[in-house]
């Protein structure tokens, strides 16, 4: 599934930890916005990990889950590009 994750965290240390966690899950498209292509289990693990890094009363993290038809309707302007879906194929010897 295509997930846009945005965050607003004032504490530098927590913000860096959240950014590092998201770097492993998707592609940074703006300073505090990531586009991720995740399976449901991966999304749940990411949410759990981020819950452990943020302060609920101070920080704001948002997950926008988009259907494939919605992804096709994203209109990027300027240098913006939608993160492509990558298909892997394992080739044996």
- What is the pLDDT at residue 54? 97
**Per-position b or e across 49-84, b if 16+ CB within 10 A of its CB:** ebeebbeeeebebeeeeeeeeebeeeeeeeeeeebe
Is pLDDT at 68 greater than 90 in this prediction?
no
Is residue 5 within 8 A of residue 22, CB to CB? The reply is yes
First and final CA of the chain: distance in angstroms?
31
Domains and CATH numbers, the chain: 2-72 (3.30.70.240)
pLDDT tens across 15-67, in order? 999 999 999 999 999 999 999 999 999 999 999 999 999 999 999 999 999 99
Put the strands of the sheet holding 2-8 in their side by side order. 27-30, 33-37, 2-8, 60-66
pTM exceeds 0.75, yes or no? yes
- What confidence category does residue 83 fall into, taking pLDDT thresholds of 50, 70 and 90? confident
């Amino acid at each position: 599934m295509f997930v846009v994750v945005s965050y607003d965290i004032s504490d530098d240390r927590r913000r860096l930890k959240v950014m590092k966690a998201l770097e492993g899950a998707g592609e940074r498209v703006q300073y505090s916005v990531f586009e991720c292509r995740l399976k449901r289990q991966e999304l749940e693990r990411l949410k759990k990990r981020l819950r452990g890094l943020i302060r609920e009363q101070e920080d704001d993290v948002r997950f926008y889950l988009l259907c494939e038809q919605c992804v096709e309707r994203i209109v990027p302007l300027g240098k913006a590009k939608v993160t492509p879906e990558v298909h892997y194929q394992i080739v044996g010897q």
